[in-house]
Every structure is written in structure tokens, then in C-alpha cells.
Structure 1
Amino acid sequence: MAVALAAGGCSSATPATVASAPAAAPPAAAAVRVGPAGSACELPVSFEIAESWEPKAVDVDALGELAELARVGDFTVRCEIDAKPAGNIGFLRVHVAGGLSGAPRDHLKTFVKAGARNQEISGETYSDVQIGGGQAAEVTWETYDKELDHRSRYSAFALNTSEGAMVVQLSPFGADEHPAMLPAFQLAERTLTVAP
């Protein structure tokens, strides 16, 4: 933008023209990824996490009597990504079943069933997809806890990795949190790469 600056009260003054360039936009913050060596959670895959979500590796052996809460059938939680700093209540959790292989859709079916923990399951919607350049599957479902009168809605995807089958689950506190947290799940799915 050109700005003309004239000396006030002096008719013989020659206006000076000063060119000022538009202010440069601040550099975009680099996306945070989990999975690579040195990241908050080292995994056989890597993916971007949503802004302000906080990843933390889970050491199941250190949980003692609570270790069973970190297991869903053959799958064990390896990483929890907390949505609370972004204003939502819930997690994106990465589960791995070491040495397990097979059809990703079958992994999801057993995962959903094992994770019910005496709750009613409804509305399961499965689809086969490509994630990270390979065959994968995804599912969305709801659970209802009669005792607590509490309804939750979840999404998850599964794929095979060099360490075994993996399920990444969006786990909101309640069904009403699901829509706001879904973009973080979709970001993980869209940016995932599988380690060799």
C-alpha cells in the first residue's frame, strides 16, 4: 500500500511516497503427529492430532489393578489423546493386539463386542475403507448403560500393522460430544501412514 506523507503547513513541500508491504502472515504451526520415534506415543503408524488435543503413552504394566480397563479383548491401549484441552470430554485411543492379523472388519466386530461391558449395543454401521494406502475398516455404534441411563456414541477404524492389528477409537464421554470430536478422528484417519 502506498502512503503519501506531506509536511503540514508548507505548500512547497514535496510529498514523499513510502511503500509498505502487506504484513506477512505468521507461519502456520507444524502439525503434531503421534507415532514416530521421539513422539509422545511411539506406534507402528503415525498420524496428525487435532489442535490442542494432548497425547500420552499408556504403560499398562504400571496401572496395576486398573490394567483391565486398558484392555478390550485382545487389544491393549497404547496411546490416549485427550480432548479436554480443546474443550471436549473424551479421548482418541489407539489399541494394538500384538501378533494378530486378519480382516480389519473382523477386528472391529470383536472389538465392539468385547468393549460393550454389559451395555446394550445398537446402530453398528461398518464399512470397508482404504487407510494409509492399505485395506482397513471403520464402524460407528452406540451403547446404552441402563444402570446409569447413559448413552454413548463411538467411531473406530482398524487396520493391520507390523506389530499386529490396530484399532483407533473415538471415545467421547457421551453421545452429544461425538459430533464435535468427530473431525479429530477423521484427521487421524486421513493423515495416517503405516510404518514399514
Structure 2
Amino acid sequence: MRKFTEGLVFAALMAGVLTGCASGNDKAGKAGKADTAEAAGKAAGKSESSKSAAPAATASTESGRGSGTRVGEAGSACELPVSFETAEGWTAKAMSAVDSEFLGELTHHKSLKGACELDTKERVISRMLVWTGPATDSSARHVLDVFMTEEGEYLVESKYQDLKVGGLPAVEVVYKLNSPKLKENREQRALALSTPKGVVVVQLRGFDTAEHRQILPVYELAKKTVSGPSVAAN
């Protein structure tokens, strides 16, 4: 049976348990569905344990203090078209081709590939994902529009904003996904950049809106410390 990274357990929970996106995915096959169910079950159990034992985010997660470690540079845990600083207590792990493909099947994000996952041992469900793609003439807004379209019927609200990130033009979206299992619309967000070295989408998810906002400082730190090549015209 396929071995899952902790990040893919998170993806299984988000896509399978909360929205049901992966339940009808015939391409994954029966074995893939069995793996997904097992991973989601484990993640759900861990989630309940985590929520009951530590309902509030830890100090390092809330503060978003930098660790001094950059992700994305050559020789770093994940080599990306841009680089940014990780938060204290958070680590980055590059995703294998197999894990990236499986994540795409679960989330239906096929326009880009999962490249890096950032997490903290202090919380089970908290994750920030980095998706990448080859360099393109398309604007960051177009890249993000396609990415958001892949959220499908569960996307209920989205608000875009053009901004500068590390002196580079970028586009950010704050959106909500309907979660029938939680009986709420979960807040999420993503940031897109298009550079000569490739496109990047940094996505911050979370078990629910409350957790998403608790780990928001980690995302804001990454956004504040982004650096990289000049991006394509936006």
C-alpha cells in the first residue's frame, strides 16, 4: 500500500472528508480510494485529538516569527522560482513526483504541480502548499483564475487583489469553500506570481476558518519575505 507523507494525509482530509471531492474520482482506482479512506481516517482521528488537546494555536504559529531559513533557494529544502522565509517551528519538504500527482488527483488541481509543503509538528492539520508550473506568457491573474476554477462546485466566494510582493507584481485571492461535513464555508487563500523561472501559487488552507486564521501569520511572513526574479507583466 502506498505510503503517505503527512502533507498528503492533510490533502486527503481536506479534499475527501470535508468536501467529498475525491470520493468519486474513478481515475484513482479502487486501491487509491482505499488509501485515501485510510489516510483520511487517520487524519480525522489526529484532528479530533489535536483539537481537544490544543484548541488554540501555539505561540510560534500565531506570531509567524521568522526562523531565518529560506525556502526556494538553490540547495534549500524546496527549490522554487521564488524564495521566502519559513516561520519558527515550521519545516519545508519537497514533494516527490508521485506525491504531487496524487495531490493533484485529490484536489483536482491539474494546471500546476505540488512542489513543496510546509508544516509544523505542533499542529496536525496546518499546512501551506506551494504549487509551481513552467514559465508562461500568462499573467499571474490568469494562472490564479485557472487554479481557482479547479476548486469546482465547492467554491462559493472569492475576492481578488492585485498587490506587490517583494517588489514583484502578484495577485492574491481570499476565498471560501463549502464543507458539507463541517456545515460551514471554510476560508482559504492563495497568492500567485508569474516569473521567468516559472509560475508559483502559495496556498494556505486549514481544517476550518478558525484554524486557517490562526496560521495566517505564517503565510503573511512568507508573503512579506518573497524575493525572486522579475515577473512577467501582470
* Length-normalised TM-score, structure 1: 0.74
Partner in structure 1 of residue 89 of structure 2: 52
Matched, 1:94 2:130: yes
| Residues 47-196 of structure 1 aligned to structure 2 (within 5 Å) | 47-61=84-98, 68-69=105-106, 72-83=109-120, 85-87=121-123, 89-114=125-150, 116-122=151-157, 124-146=158-180, 149=183, 151-195=185-229
Moved over 6 A (4+): none
Structure 2: stretches of 5+ with no match in the other structure: 1-65
Within 2, Cα distance between the matches of 1:134 and 1:62? 30
Q: Which has the higher contact order (CA 8 A, sep 6+)?
A: 2
Structure 1: stretches of 5+ with no match in the other structure: 1-28
Q: 1:66 to 1:95 in 2, by over 3 A?
A: closer
Q: CA RMSD for the aligned pairs? A: 2.5
The share of aligned pairs that are identical, in percent, is: 34
**Other structure's SS at 1:38 match:** coil
The 8 Å contact of residues 135 and 198 in structure 2, kept in 1 or not, is answered as yes
Within 1, Cα distance between the matches of 2:159 and 2:99? 35
Q: 1:184 to 1:101 in 2, by over 3 A?
A: farther
Residue by residue over 1:157-187, the C-alpha shift from the partner in whole angstroms, topping out at 9 and shown as x without a partner, is 1111233221111111221111111111111
Amino acid at match of 2:123: G
Q: 1:108 to 1:67 in 2, by over 3 A?
A: closer
Whose strand fraction is larger, Structure 1's or Structure 2's?
1
The 8 Å contact of residues 104 and 110 in structure 2, kept in 1 or not, is answered as no
Within 1, Cα distance between the matches of 2:98 and 2:208? 28
Aligned pair count reads: 166
Q: 1:112 to 1:67 in 2, by over 3 A?
A: closer
Q: 1:86 to 1:162 in 2, by over 3 A?
A: farther
Rg larger for = 1
Q: Which range moved further: 166-175 or 54-63?
A: 54-63
* Length-normalised TM-score, structure 2: 0.63
Amino acid at match of 1:121: V
